[in-house]
Structure 1
Amino acid sequence: MTTISKNLLVELFVEELPPKALKKLGDAFAGVLRDQLVALGLADAGAVLTSYASPRRLGAHLTNVVAQAADKAVSQKLMPVAVGLDAAGNATPALLKRLGALGADASAVATLKRAPDGKAEALFYESTAKGVTLAEGLQKALAEAIAKLPIPKVMSYQLENGELPGWTSVSFVRPAHGLVALHGGDVVPVEALGLKAGRETHGHRFEAKVDPVVLRDAGSYALQLEEEGAVIAGFEARRTEIARQLTLAAAKVGGGAKPIDDDALLDEVTALVERPNVLVCSFEREFLDVPQECLILTMKANQKYFPLLDAADKLTNQFLVVSNITPDDASAVIQGNERVVRPRLADAKFFFDQDRKKSLESRVASLDKVVYHNKLGTQGERALRVSRIAMEIGKKLRADTGDQALAIAAQRAAELAKTDLVTDMVGEFPELQGTMGRYYALNDGLPVDIADAIEDHYKPRFAGDTLPRGEVGVVVALADKLETLVGMFGIGNLPTGDRDPFALRRHALGVVRMLIEKDLPLDLKSLLKAAAATFGGIDGFDETRAVVDLETFILDRLAGSLREQGASAQEVDAVLAPQPQRLGTVPKLLAAVRAFAALPEAPALAAANKRIGNILKKSPEADAHVSAVLLQEPAEKALHAAMEQVVPAADAQFDAGDYTASLQTLAALRAPVDAFFDDVMVNAEQVDLRLNRLGLLKLLHAAMNRVALLERLAA
């Protein structure tokens, strides 16, 4: 049986949905509906899905949906032939009973199919299953879509209709008040959340031309809602309209004004309005004396406004409001929003003025009253550890000159880096930690590099974030992240598969990025040991975890990062297997391995290197020493001679940092290495000969693996 396909529309009309979850809810609702209908044969995989999500509705429009799925041929295994038929080929009671359960009788025995089933033959009953109707399938799909919604918090409420109004309760993200299900122009008789499907929905609370909006058919949904209900139902369509109006409003302001670029804010505002109307508002210029980060944050976080920046990215005293109403005279709406934002800005100005009355230095003692971690002490104790680590890093970076200026500046910045945590502004807006510290440091007359370091020591805050802008900032940021990592690993507070409350993975990647991108001449293990030394006296602190386990953790994060950047697992494994301590050299080492892997000699040398490694593992007595007198076979003499020429040149190139050239020079050893394994018995019976040959291989293995563990490149 074939049925004509039509468009399908489903809408749940609800009370205001949580804005930050709206887009995800809309996509999930529509996606599960589509998947279920495709699985039931009511829609094809190529059907076009349109999801709708506004503050008061979740909807889905799907093309090419049939009223009934096609019938399906079904083959059901019954039982082994030996069980279902007796010696004469007649049906056994067991077979007749099974057929009866399927609605068939003895006449069906002749139609049963025999087919292999493992080692034996089995009987199969073939029938035709009637295709599911749209009403049946949509009921199931709707229940599944509601059950699988990623609801942040479920609420229970009583139904107002039904046999016992007020006594029956259901659970959903928000109370639902309407259900629409249209197949073309026909209502599909389904139910959900105590509601029966119809064709009526509701538009804008105040500006709809008619209420209810009676939908003609599935295809007219979006147009009717916009024209009659004053609602843009589609999330993306509404978002695009808001972005268009923001740009247009900014252009009318002139002077190169532009709304702040914030996708998260745009998404949230899109989830708050059904009929967007962007208006230009302003505030008193005197508030611009407050750092613009404070004003921008309070306007975005508290009021969902879009601050306007000038051509130089400086905050202006104008901002954009996305209103949900479009009155003929918008002055009352504009004045209302200006009146609402003024106390917020006044609070920010008050906090800023009050905070500047005390220096950051005077706030250091207050950190001793702020708990950092119950096992690791207060923020004051933490700041002391960070400052000691920073001073040690500063000394290491100037070890060749003995200059103490960097170490002293880094120590000073680290001592003050957390003091803005006890200011009023950061107490109100924790997102401004570091940012406000810089402003207050400059207000105290501290050097710019120290002020910058106070702000930048949190960097990189996220993937792709910039690194600290100055050397002092890099040192303090490195010290801060190492203190967190070493401390948490030391007390066994490690990240798990789904939990990382102290962002240790992000901190590890931050350490990796600074060491590599700044090419710092610092050894990873020595850094970890220096940091661990500052935790003396803390109960339960395990230095092995804090150094050995943490080193592995950091190198694992580096390996993952390199693979994400396109390096192969073999190349990354070869470079990191020797646990390089100067992470700044890793990009060069990786480039050298890639170039080596492209050489024709690479596969044979990698295989030989693996063979040598296996031989040496079984011969721990081998010493990296060769006596020319004990070299007997021409092949071992040739290898030794080649090594005496090639290895010093390769070592010199390695020491000069030219790792690519070093590996390419070593490639010349392929022929003598192949000949050695073809013609020389390594494990000779004569002890001195055997040890001499093992010593030759040990020297060769050490020379070949300075850049990377080449055996990891072997297939």
Structure 2
Amino acid sequence: MTDFLLELRSEEIPARMQKGARAELEKLFRAKLGEAGLTASAITVYSTPRRLALIAKGLADETQAVSEERKGPRADAPDKAIEGFLRSTGLTRDQLVEREDKKGNAVLFAVIETPGLATRDVLAEAIPAIVREFSWPKSMRWGAASQSTESLRWVRPLSGIVALFGEQVVECEVHGVTSGAVTLGHRFHHRGDITIGDADDYAVKLRAGHVIVDHEEREAIVRDGATKAAADAGLSLVADEGLVVENAGLTEWPVPLLGRFDAAFLDVPQEVIQLTARVNQKYFVCEDGEGHLANAFVCTANIDATDGGTALVAGNEKVLAARLSDAKFFWDLDRKTPLAVHAEKLKDIVFHEKLGTVADKVDRVAKLARWLVEEGIVGDGKPEIADLAQKAAELCKADLVTEMVGEFPELQGLMGGYYAAAEGLGPRVAAAIRDHYKPVGQGDDVPTAPVTVAVSLADKLDTLIAFFLIEERPSGSRDPFALRRATLSIIALVIRSGLKLPIERVCHVMTAVLLSDRYVIQQSAKIDTVEELAEILGDAVDTSSREKLLEEAFSPESLKDAGATSWANFGHRTTTEVLDFFADRLKVQQREAGVRHDLIDAVFALGGEDDLVRLLARVKALQAFVETPEGTDLIAGYKRASNILKKGEVSAAEQQNLSYTPEAAEKALIDSLAEAEPRARSAVNAENFEGAMAALASLRDPIDRFFEEVTVNDEDETKRAARHALLARFRAAVNQVADFSKIEG
């Protein structure tokens, strides 16, 4: 068994591409080995800014010989058929073998012996193929050959190939670069070539040339060295694993060094300082003993400087000072203009061609945020909270046009919060502006402050309903406006604060608000005329008149009316689609939380419920119940009853005409139902779903006894009908809580 070394050397490979490149190299190499019938006992892949390297352990010296047998035509077949078979196999007629088939016919067979190939030869063909098939996020052509689209594409110009099978060079050529045993060391610390003997001394010899080929070792040096540099100065490093990986990908000989910046810059928000240091310069930032940002940073040099890094640190300090000066300029400049004035510029930014500008969206969000508070859906309905929610919503997007967010888009919302606080708008407004985008994804903080929740909910509800209204719904994997994420965020907000959010009613309100916007009306082909809408809609954003408006516009009666306007029908359809979309997202969210999908379906199947908190309480109570012996037995009884009733049920009128004296087991079930039905109904109405389950649990023994002692499908038609009616009553009682037919098992 022999080891193989491959190094592909080039100009600097971007740090962000190195992880993917390592995976791609291993994948392609394994594929080429598999095609040749070879396997390696272990494969290790390394990367530095200037090279990708792979070491495969334990390769056989040659591939196995293969014997293949092909069945051909009969021996007495026409000459043309036999000649065609010979051409396909590359054999002559006398090399074929005759055998009798089951019918006694003489049939020709070709036995093709393929001798084993030297692994070195296999690798010589594989290396150019790997390089040509390599997939990079971005690649380039270079040199004179780049004039042809057939020339090699690589992330950066390829400059060297080391290919050793054992101690022997695997000879190959790619784009004018021939393989060998020679590589280069560190760009500054090592002069001349480095000759590699075999795979075992590759890392050792490169280390002697000031190159650490193992990316994980470099990451550890960066991580530990930066932590130590900060600790030596009495500080603590702000952990940033992404920055660790990036610095390791930028250096072949990493040396972390501590630098300082003017403490006056600490007046700038710490997130700005951290982003400036991180994004622009790839520096770590530090904190003091009290957890405050310190005027210190850690940079990672790529050389071991003779002066201990003094000159390097001084240069980095100058560069960071210039960057921080820009950030401070933006910070000071943005604060000179009130957020309300910044917000005026949102009129010049198109949100969507069918939904108007960002200013139009802000106006809708402010109206909905106020309505959510006034209706008691968020907070306690106090006018003060409604005013604050409206104010925060009106300013929540204002920082999008500031200089700071223009430089660092990641700070949207956050900078608005800082500017609001600096302007004296109050902590609740500032917090709402800062956090209204949250939660952004799974694991993100979920706001709970009423003002923030109102603005965040309104923002996401507007996005969701507006895009559904203009028929920009997600389909398959396509979700360009992140409506699935917005819906999951709404669900998280509702669950975290236990909000009674009537989604259907909110959809009605939001549709009315959207359709009251002249821009939306003019863009929508679904609206008959602006005048017709205005006559029916009236002042759709005035709370006192909105309920009457919605009652008239969205009631089933008005929708059935032949004279109902197309916008009302359109709004009703949108509401139905949004409700279905919420149901699907809630199922996904709950499945990921470990809730059984069949139980979710069982609760949703009841319909007529759009209160997410109440739905989830019902699902959780159901899950706890079905995992008990009582629940298991009751489900079995329910399914048995349902199967019997599939063959025919008794109508209510027929039940009243039945004159029949029940048996003891029937009487026991009737009495239990008489007690359990109202208890379960009352518990459901009080949203006490555990109590409803407890009421249903009392039916377990009576239904078991019923099936044990009673012949349901009695020959007597009256008895059979009465017992079917009783089972139907039992099924209806159970279905008060959930549709048990959806429950598996």
TM-score range, shorter chain: 0.7 to 0.9
CA distance in 2: counterparts of 1:614 and 1:633, whole angstroms = 22
CA distance in 2: counterparts of 1:260 and 1:328, whole angstroms = 28
Partner of 2:9: 13
CA distance in 2: counterparts of 1:41 and 1:301, whole angstroms = 46
CA distance in 1: counterparts of 2:649 and 2:406, whole angstroms = 61
1:241 and 2:221 aligned: yes
Task: Give, as a single letter, the amino acid of the residue that structure 2 aligns with 1:593.
Answer: L
**Residues 98, 109 of structure 2: 8 Å contact kept:** no
Change (3 A) 1:325 1:496: farther
1:531 and 2:560 aligned: no
SS in 1 for 2:142: strand
Partner of 1:138: 123
Q: Report the CA distance between 1:325 and its aligned residue.
A: 1.7
**Structure 2 counterparts to residues 82-481 of structure 1, below 5 A:** 83-85=73-75, 94=81, 98-99=85-86, 101-105=88-92, 110=97, 125-158=110-143, 169-208=151-190, 210-228=191-209, 230-254=210-234, 257-329=235-307, 330-397=309-376, 403-481=382-460
Partner of 2:626: 597
1:40 and 2:69 aligned: no
Task: Give, as a single letter, the amino acid of the residue that structure 2 aligns with 1:326.
Answer: D
SS in 2 for 1:197: strand
SS in 2 for 1:397: coil
CA distance in 1: counterparts of 2:132 and 2:149, whole angstroms = 22
Change (3 A) 1:562 1:197: same
Change (3 A) 1:445 1:637: same
Partner of 1:554: 582
Cα distance per residue 1:252-291 (max 9 Å; x no partner): 111xx22222222222222211111111111111110111
Q: Report the CA distance between 1:334 and its aligned residue.
A: 1.0
**More deviation, 24-33/295-304:** 24-33
CA distance in 2: counterparts of 1:29 and 1:69, whole angstroms = 22
Q: Report the CA distance between 1:296 and its aligned residue.
A: 0.9
SS in 1 for 2:137: coil
Cα distance per residue 1:408-445 (max 9 Å; x no partner): 22122111111111222112211111111111111121
Change (3 A) 1:415 1:432: same
Task: Give, as a single letter, the amino acid of the residue that structure 1 aligns with 2:120.
Answer: A
**Residues 372, 378 of structure 2: 8 Å contact kept:** no
CA distance in 1: counterparts of 2:598 and 2:165, whole angstroms = 55
Change (3 A) 1:628 1:143: farther
**Residues 488, 494 of structure 1: 8 Å contact kept:** yes
Change (3 A) 1:125 1:292: same
Q: Report the CA distance between 1:24 and its aligned residue.
A: 0.9
Task: Give, as a single letter, the amino acid of the residue that structure 2 aligns with 1:360.
Answer: L
Cα distance per residue 1:318-373 (max 9 Å; x no partner): 10111112211122211111111112111111111111122222333222222211
**Residues 259, 309 of structure 1: 8 Å contact kept:** yes
**More deviation, 527-536/616-625:** 616-625
Change (3 A) 1:125 1:703: farther
Change (3 A) 1:488 1:621: farther
CA distance in 2: counterparts of 1:499 and 1:224, whole angstroms = 50
CA distance in 2: counterparts of 1:387 and 1:499, whole angstroms = 29
CA distance in 2: counterparts of 1:613 and 1:478, whole angstroms = 42
CA distance in 1: counterparts of 2:165 and 2:620, whole angstroms = 60
SS in 1 for 2:250: coil
Partner of 2:552: none
Change (3 A) 1:693 1:223: same
The two structures, once aligned, show a CA RMSD in angstroms of 3.5
Identity of aligned residues (%): 35
**Structure 2 counterparts to residues 621-640 of structure 1, below 5 A:** 627=656, 633-634=662-663, 637-640=667-670
**More deviation, 238-247/91-100:** 91-100
CA distance in 2: counterparts of 1:491 and 1:682, whole angstroms = 59
**Structure 2 counterparts to residues 525-674 of structure 1, below 5 A:** 525-536=504-515, 537=517, 538=520, 539-540=523-524, 542-544=570-572, 546-578=574-606, 580-602=609-631, 605-606=634-635, 609=638, 627=656, 633-634=662-663, 637-670=667-700, 672-673=702-703
CA distance in 1: counterparts of 2:660 and 2:431, whole angstroms = 64
Partner of 2:711: 679
**Residues 96, 109 of structure 2: 8 Å contact kept:** no
Q: Report the CA distance between 1:575 and its aligned residue.
A: 3.5
Change (3 A) 1:429 1:452: same
**Residues 623, 698 of structure 1: 8 Å contact kept:** no
**Residues 456, 468 of structure 1: 8 Å contact kept:** yes
Q: Tell me, which stretches of 5 or more residues in structure 1 are unaligned?
A: none
**Residues 159, 194 of structure 1: 8 Å contact kept:** no
Task: Give, as a single letter, the amino acid of the residue that structure 1 aligns with 2:123.
Answer: L
SS in 2 for 1:145: helix
**Residues 679, 692 of structure 2: 8 Å contact kept:** yes
CA distance in 1: counterparts of 2:291 and 2:506, whole angstroms = 39
CA distance in 1: counterparts of 2:125 and 2:583, whole angstroms = 49
Task: Give, as a single letter, the amino acid of the residue that structure 2 aligns with 1:246.
Answer: A
**Residues 43, 55 of structure 2: 8 Å contact kept:** yes
SS in 2 for 1:566: coil
Query: What's the TM-score once normalised by structure 1's chain length?
Result: 0.87
SS in 1 for 2:300: strand
**Residues 75, 106 of structure 2: 8 Å contact kept:** no
SS in 2 for 1:375: coil
**Residues 378, 499 of structure 2: 8 Å contact kept:** no
Cα distance per residue 1:614-666 (max 9 Å; x no partner): 89899899569974965655466554322111222233443444424422431
CA distance in 2: counterparts of 1:51 and 1:57, whole angstroms = 11
**Residues 115, 122 of structure 1: 8 Å contact kept:** no
CA distance in 1: counterparts of 2:461 and 2:716, whole angstroms = 51
Change (3 A) 1:704 1:147: farther
**More deviation, 500-509/240-249:** 500-509
Task: Give, as a single letter, the amino acid of the residue that structure 2 aligns with 1:176.
Answer: L
SS in 1 for 2:698: helix
**More deviation, 626-635/364-373:** 626-635
CA distance in 2: counterparts of 1:585 and 1:121, whole angstroms = 78
CA distance in 2: counterparts of 1:398 and 1:581, whole angstroms = 13
CA distance in 2: counterparts of 1:36 and 1:248, whole angstroms = 44
1:72 and 2:51 aligned: no
Q: Tell me, which stretches of 5 or more residues in structure 2 are unaligned?
A: 527-569
Change (3 A) 1:659 1:469: closer
**More deviation, 645-654/674-683:** 674-683
Task: Give, as a single letter, the amino acid of the residue that structure 1 aligns with 2:141.
Answer: S
SS in 1 for 2:46: strand
Query: What's the TM-score once normalised by structure 2's chain length?
Result: 0.84
Q: Report the CA distance between 1:471 and its aligned residue.
A: 1.8
**Residues 650, 725 of structure 2: 8 Å contact kept:** no
SS in 2 for 1:49: strand
